[in-house]
Structure 1
Amino acid sequence: MLTFRSIANVKMYNSLTERLRNQHLAIAELIAGISNDKLGAPPAPGKWSALDNIAHLTRYQKIFIGRIHQILNEDTPVFERYNGDLDPEFTPFRSMGLTELLDIIKADRATIFDLLSGLNDAELSRIGVHPKYGRLTISKWTEFFVLHEAHHLFTIFQLVNGTE
């Protein structure tokens, strides 16, 4: 059973825990029956395809894991805004196939979930500084993470369901 944890304004509340645990599973549902050609087709020159968005989510999970470890091991680290187009390590993800990307997402999500589930209240209250949103607890970073993912899920939905 999921638990409700809090300290001051630090929370890993049930809806956050559930989205963290399951939200990524929507990717397979959103793209079911969609051809590889459509998944890989950018909507316009220089714009990301649905597959690029999935590659971004795959890469960003690794960024998120690194940031959580940094917040746990450093006093109030300050992060730059992540931009996949400027990340040379994003390029290999863009050349991976769908099955490989989904396998990595699944494995890394288990890592993220286990990491965050094992944190105590003091650890959940640790702060990392986001360039736009300021001082965020690990719980708020997690909320940001799932909202960022949801944004890309919606983008994938739009790309695979739009008319050509």
Structure 2
Amino acid sequence: MIQSSLTHRLKDQHRAITPIIIKLNDRQIQHHHIKGKWSIHEHIAHLAKYQPVFIDRIRKILLMDDPEFEAYRAEDDDGFEIYCAFTTYELLKKISSDREVIYNLVTKLSPDKLDRTGIHSKYGKLNILDWTEFFLLHEAHHLFAIFQLTHTLK
């Protein structure tokens, strides 16, 4: 069974980005506050790029028995640079549309489907609810990083 906390975060957590960055201009969003660390824009690009990866992983878990997945690293994904080339506005639209897919995919699964598992290279065997929690906590980490960068710029 899906906890209401999980469904609420799955539906709305990503919406925190806009209020956090609303007063920033593009230069501030693109700014690398610390050399070698991501800008706010790159954090948002990462969140946008990871959502299709997550959708693919859930679909594989539903189709295969215990598929194995390496830990995702944006630096190893050629598509990450493509996403970085989008405007922040375009990325936010992508996040919203892909989140609707994720929400509908996960929340409409029967209990037996939610119990299906995939194997993460670091965290081991996770069922779909665990994968979803992991996805949301990962996203929250980046939301916090965006918040920190936003307030470091002021």
TM-score, normalized by length of structure 1? 0.91
| Counterpart pick for 1:37 among 19, 27, 36 | 27
Alignment of 1:8-157 (within 5 A): 12-157=2-147
Q: 1:163: Cα distance to partner?
A: 4.5
Q: Which has the higher helix share?
A: 2
> Residues of 2 paired with 1:28 and 1:163: CA distance?
16
Q: Secondary structure at the match of 1:89?
A: helix
**How many residues in Structure 1 have an aligned counterpart in Structure 2?**
154
Q: Secondary structure at the match of 2:49?
A: helix
Q: 1:42: Cα distance to partner?
A: 1.2
Question: Which runs of no fewer than 5 residues in structure 2 stay unpaired?
Answer: none
Aligned-residue sequence identity (percent) comes to 44
> Residues of 1 paired with 2:36 and 2:78: CA distance?
16
The Cα RMSD (Å) is 1.0
Q: 1:131: Cα distance to partner?
A: 1.3
> Residues of 1 paired with 2:11 and 2:138: CA distance?
15
Question: Which runs of no fewer than 5 residues in structure 1 stay unpaired?
Answer: 6-11
Q: 1:43: Cα distance to partner?
A: 2.0
> Residues of 2 paired with 1:132 and 1:17: CA distance?
25
Q: 1:45: Cα distance to partner?
A: 2.4
Report the residue type matching 2:111 in the other structure: D
